[in-house]
Amino acid sequence: MAEKRPEKRRRRFDAFLRDTEGATAVEYAVLLMMVGLALIGMISLTDVSNRISNTFSLVSNTMSSH
Find, among 28, 50, 32, 29, the residue nearest to 40 by Cα. Answer: 32
Tens-digit pLDDT profile for residues 39-50? 998 888 888 888
pLDDT digits (tens, 9 = 90+) for 2-25: 556 888 889 988 888 887 777 788
DSSP 52: H
Confidence of residue 32 (pLDDT cuts 50, 70, 90): very high
Report which residue type is found at 25: A
- Per-residue confidence at 35, pLDDT binned at 50, 70, 90? very high
